[in-house]
């Protein structure tokens, strides 16, 4: 249930960012849910591989290259979802940074229901 709530909150963040960023468009809430789901799958499966492959560059840039990897994941999601569009790598970079900020704020609202 917590995962469904997090995907829903990410979809809301995607919709809000698409309204304010001039290079990002989402055709509706259903496509925003698809974007949230695909981004979570990409971050789960593709991001670790990309981090390992680009480890020297990431170390040289003191971890800042992770932002570029996140932008590439947004562009991959753009490729797979027809109702989601990002115009450039710079827009994807800004979108991924702002989405991370939104997610960190929104995910603090979701409390862990496990009792220790």
Residue 53 within any structural domain of the chain: yes
Residue 112 within any structural domain of the chain: no
Query: What pTM value is reported for the model?
Result: 0.89
Residue 111 within any structural domain of the chain: no
Residue 116 within any structural domain of the chain: no
Residue of 28, 29, 24 lying closest to 77 (CA atoms)? 24
How confident is the model over 95-110, as pLDDT tens digits? 999 999 999 998 888 7
Q: Could you give the CA distance from residue 39 to residue 94 in angstroms, rounded to a whole number? A: 15
Residue 114 within any structural domain of the chain: no
Residue 113 within any structural domain of the chain: no
* Range of the structural domain that residue 94 is part of: 2-106
**DSSP letter string over the chain?**
-HHHHHHHHHHHHHHHHHHH-TTEEE--HHHHHHHHHHHHHHHHHTHHHHHHHTHHHHHHTTTTHHHHHHHHHHHHHHHH-TTEEE--HHHHHHHHHHHHHHHHHHHTTS------
Residue 38 within any structural domain of the chain: yes
Q: How many domains does the chain have?
A: 1
Residue 115 within any structural domain of the chain: no
How confident is the model over 40-84, as pLDDT tens digits? 999 999 999 999 999 999 999 999 999 999 999 999 999 999 999
């Amino acid at each position: 249930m917590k995962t469904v709530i997090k995907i829903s909150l990410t979809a809301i963040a995607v919709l809000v960012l698409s309204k304010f960023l001039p290079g990002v468009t989402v055709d509706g809430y259903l496509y925003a849910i698809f974007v949230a789901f695909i981004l979570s799958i990409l971050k789960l499966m593709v991001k670790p591989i990309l981090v390992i492959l680009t480890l020297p560059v990431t170390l040289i840039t003191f971890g800042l290259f992770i932002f570029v990897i996140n932008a590439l994941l947004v562009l991959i999601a753009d490729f797979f979802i027809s109702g989601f569009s990002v115009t450039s790598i710079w827009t994807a970079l800004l979108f991924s940074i702002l989405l991370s900020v939104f997610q960190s704020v929104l995910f603090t609202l979701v409390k862990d229901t496990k009792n220790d």
